[in-house]
């Protein structure tokens, strides 16, 4: 297991020097963030991320994300140029030593929450999801500001895009995902870059848009769309685990034994209703998910992919990007590293800069 930490590049308020001080940290997970989806990343930008990470003794082998252009998800004829750009990015990342690329296939919106700073009795705060509040939101109104999605949409632009998705079914989205995988996976094989889809967060449809990476049946289907091991998963415990119908320990056991998990996002959530949850500290006792069970399954399979603490709470007065503060993610990292050592008798793999 290679312990990793998400780093939003040079503009991240958390410097690489801090990340490298977290015990047993192998590398950073990052991306070229200033290029719009569907465009090719410059070799210089990729090399610069790698050089900066390496200069701090950290690897840059895992990318999150190379975003998929909406025309690919929509299956529009214009997708060809975006598929080609995606393949070119995979080639360039492979040349730079990247081994794993995370992406998602959620129409329009990335992760969604109803409150980004929900206070807990201990004075910390974290992200929560209350279905009632989300159902009351109108994405077409133009005054919705959501985390994790493209801030550059204008009201009209967003409404046009939502119109394009009108009537799209889960079947249509699966068909478009297959076209994407069949175009990109052969390039991944050649470049030795594992593709790892991130589950939909939360794992159910929102605002009338279809979502498909939500449950075991659909994960099976996705893996069968293209049987190459390069077509794999980002096992995000908090995303899948937000639905009480997903048993994340069993899913981890199943997919890690098939060699299809390339990247793990470890985080805990407390389920407070059928479609209500809040993010908690990482340890098993703090939420509804059995993080120890997940780590046991990974340890048993001698998982050698990348694992990062996913969202953390805001603690010790820290402010910053929701879910991506330093302190609680660092606590999560040391908890996960400690479990790994206890379960396998060894520390997570270290990065050696050659």
Count of other CB atoms within 10 angstroms of residue 20: 17
Of the candidates 94, 67, 64, the one whose C-alpha atom is nearest the C-alpha of residue 82 is 67
311 labelled catalytic: yes
Which of the residues 246 through 275 are near ligand CS2 (CB under 6 A)?
Answer: 265
Q: To the nearest whole angstrom, how small is the minimum distance from the Cβ of residue 148 to ligand CS2?
A: 5
Distance CA 86, CA 208 (A): 27
- C-alpha dist (Å) from residue 190 to 4, 6, 43, 158: 25, 26, 18, 36
Contact yes or no for 63/101 (Cβ under 8 A): yes
Exactly one of 61, 70, 201, 253 binds ligand CS2 (CB under 6 A); which one? Answer: 201
306 binds ligand CS2 (CB under 6 A): no
Query: Dihedral (C-alpha) 7, 8, 11, 12: value to the nearest 10 degrees?
Result: -50
Provide the mask over 49-88, with x wherever binding to Mn ion is found by CB under 5 A and - wherever it is not.
----------------------------------------
Question: Residues 6 or more apart from 257 whose CB is under 8 A from it?
Answer: 301
Helix (H) or strand (E) holding 263, with range, is strand 261-266
Active site residue 262: no
At closest approach, how far in Å is the CB of 306 from ligand CS2? 13
Q: Are 182 and 218 in contact (CB under 8 A)?
A: no
| Local structure of 41: helix, strand or coil | coil
Q: Taking contact as CB under 6 A, which single stretch among the options 97-105, 173-181, 207-215, 216-224 is the one that binds ligand CS2? A: 97-105
CB of 65 to Mn ion, least distance (A): 10
Q: Which of 198, 215, 282, 306 is catalytic?
A: 198
Cβ closest to Mn ion, residue 158 vs residue 241: 241
C-alpha span between 95 and 200 (Å, rounded): 29
Minimum distance of ligand CS2 from residue 66's CB (angstroms)? 8
Taking CB under 5 A as the rule, does residue 3 contact Mn ion? Answer: no
The HSE-up count of residue 164 (CA atoms within 13 Å, CB side) is 16
Name the catalytic one among 265, 276, 282, 306. Answer: 265
Active site residue 265: yes
88 binds, among Mn ion, ligand CS2, none (CB under 5 to 8 A by kind): none
Give the Cα separation of 261 and 303 in Å (integer). 8
Stretch that binds ligand CS2, among 83-91, 103-111, 154-162, 286-294 (CB under 6 A): 103-111
Q: Which of 129, 236, 262, 328 is catalytic?
A: 236
Site for Mn ion in 246-275 (CB under 5 A): 265
What is the side-by-side order of every strand in the sheet holding 115-119?
115-119, 125-130, 276-280, 268-273
**What does the chain come to in residues?**
354
87, 184 contact by CB (below 8 A): yes
Q: Give the active site residue among 87, 103, 311, 328.
A: 311
Q: Choose which of 183, 310, 328, 332 interacts with Mn ion (CB under 5 A).
A: 310
Q: Is 62 in the site for ligand CS2 (CB under 6 A)?
A: no
Count of positions on this chain that bind ligand CS2 (CB under 6 A) = 14
Does 124 sit near ligand CS2 (CB under 6 A)?
A: no
Q: Which residues bind ligand CS2 (CB under 6 A)?
A: 64-65, 102-104, 110-111, 148, 198, 201, 236, 265, 310, 323
Q: Which residues bind Mn ion (CB under 5 A)?
A: 236, 265, 310
Catalytic residues: 198, 236, 265, 310-311, 324
């Amino acid at each position: 297991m290679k312990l990793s930490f998400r780093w939003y590049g040079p503009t991240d308020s958390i410097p690489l020097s801090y990340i490298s001080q977290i015990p047993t940290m192998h590398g950073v997970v990052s991306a070229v963030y200033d290029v719009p989806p569907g465009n090719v990343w410059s070799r210089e930008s990729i090399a610069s991320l790698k050089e900066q990470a390496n200069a701090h003794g950290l690897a840059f082998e895992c990318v999150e994300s190379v975003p998929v252009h909406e025309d690919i998800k929509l299956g529009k004829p214009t997708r060809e140029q975006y598929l080609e750009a995606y393949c070119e990015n995979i080639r360039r990342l492979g040349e730079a030593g990247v081994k794993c690329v995370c992406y998602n296939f959620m129409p329009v919106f990335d992760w969604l929450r109803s409150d980004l700073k929900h206070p807990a009795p201990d004075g910390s705060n974290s992200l929560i999801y209350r279905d009632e509040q989300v159902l009351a939101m109108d994405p077409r109104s133009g005054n919705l500001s959501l985390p994790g999605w493209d801030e550059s949409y204008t009201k009209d632009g967003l409404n046009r895009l939502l119109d394009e998705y009108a009537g799209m079914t889960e079947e249509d989205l699966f068909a478009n995902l297959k076209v994407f995988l069949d175009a990109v996976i052969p390039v991944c094989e050649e470049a030795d870059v594992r593709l790892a889809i991130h589950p939909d967060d939360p794992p159910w449809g929102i605002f009338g848009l279809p979502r498909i990476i939500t449950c075991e049946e659909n994960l099976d289907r996705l893996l069968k769309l293209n049987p190459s091991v390069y077509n794999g998963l980002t096992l995000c415990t908090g995303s899948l685990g937000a639905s009480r119908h997903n048993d994340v320990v069993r899913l981890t056991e199943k997919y890690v034994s098939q060699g299809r998990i390339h990247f793990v996002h470890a985080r805990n959530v407390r389920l407070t209703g059928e479609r209500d949850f809040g993010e908690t500290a990482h340890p098993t006792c703090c939420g509804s998910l059995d993080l120890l069970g997940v780590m046991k399954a990974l340890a048993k399979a001698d998982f050698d992919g990348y694992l990062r603490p996913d969202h953390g709470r805001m603690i010790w007065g820290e402010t910053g990007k929701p879910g991506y503060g330093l302190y609680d993610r660092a606590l999560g990292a040391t908890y996960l590293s400690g479990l790994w050592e206890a379960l396998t008798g060894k520390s997570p793999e270290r990065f050696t800069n050659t």
